Amino acid sequence: MSVTLTTPIKRDNKEISTVVITDTIKQAGSLRGLRLVDVLNFDYDAISTLLTRVTSPALTSLEISTLDTGDFVSFIEELTPFLTKAAPSVPGVAETESK
């Protein structure tokens, strides 16, 4: 998954206009030291720390703090599917027995 920035990040003499959320997001270790409730509540500090761990190119805290607000929200929208359980497609046994 990737985010196309409306306001590119300037790094050295280059502009970063697309940032990929890497498969590291699928590893529980990417949440190390973070309170899961803060991540799920989209706390700025928690999300910023998480983004430094799971983006390519790896964004710095300073770069994240200067993101356009809409771009920051776009990152949250991309992170959400990894942080929430998918809806079951088939009812569980307990659900079918209670009907």
* 93 inside domain: no
Q: What is the pTM of this model?
A: 0.80
Domain count, the chain: 1
* 95 inside domain: no
Which residue segment(s) compose the domain that 20 sits in? 2-83
Report CA dihedral (69, 70, 76, 79) to the nearest 10 degrees: -130
Mean pLDDT across the chain: 89
83: pLDDT confidence band, cut at 50, 70 and 90? confident
* 88 inside domain: no
* 94 inside domain: no
pLDDT digits (tens, 9 = 90+) for 28-61: 999 999 999 999 999 999 999 999 999 999 999 9
* 71 inside domain: yes
* 55 inside domain: yes
Find, among 10, 50, 61, the residue nearest to 26 by Cα. Answer: 50
Half-sphere exposure of 55 (CA within 13 A, CB side): 25
* 29 inside domain: yes
Report CA dihedral (93, 81, 2, 37) to the nearest 10 degrees: -150
